[in-house]
Amino acid sequence: MKKLTLLILLLQICTATAVMAQLEGRRFLSGGIGLDFANTNPDLTESTNNYNGNVNIGIGKFKTQTKAVGWNLSGYLGGGKTLRYVNGQDESQSGINQYGIGAGRFWQFYKHFNEKIGIYAGPNVNLSYNYKKERLMEQENINDRKSHATTLSLGVGAGVYYRLSERWWLDASLGFATPFSLAYTKINNDYVGSTVTSKASQINYNLSPSFTFPSVGLGLRYFLAN
């Protein structure tokens, strides 16, 4: 009986080792898409219908059985329709009002439980540009504000994977943290119905050791042929 148990354990170890050995040197593509819709319709203030979408694409390589490195590209669009009551008149505004692009480097460290399931975690560095246009009510003035923000951030992410086949994995993020970020923002204020404009620049930094968990997002990973 003891010999049989030992044989089973050896077979399991060999199987797991063989699976992990196949990962070393392999390149992969990963991606995910997110969509979000929100609607508010209060009685006394503005009503809004907002939407936004984002896409993330990554390319990486397993340097060892338990370590992968790579690059990420990301982008998003946001917009909606807003109905306001301004100076006794209904005012409607719709269309794309924000977008952003980003690029980053990631490092991931894996724990493979078996040939199907494992978890990973690791740091990342990202550089992003974001544009946003919004109409603000400032006392008696209406301000069309445009913001251009460039942000450098250091983060940490964690996730779990499920192996669907030899080429395909299902990825699910579990949580993330952004302990440090540095942003430079340019703001243009254009007051509607007036020739008055203003510009401002600001630098913001953030130090936050907090970890957001859970933060669930799904994606797919495709392994390229060797």
pTM (2 decimals)? 0.76
Tokens of 76: 């998003």
pLDDT tens digits for range 81-103: 877 665 656 667 778 889 999 99
- What tens digit of pLDDT does each residue of 47-69 get? 678 888 899 999 999 999 999 99
Predicted confidence (pLDDT) per residue in 169-219, tens digit: 999 888 888 888 999 999 988 876 677 788 899 999 888 877 777 767 788
Could you give all domains of the chain from N- to C-terminal order, each with its CATH number? 2-223 (2.40.160.20)
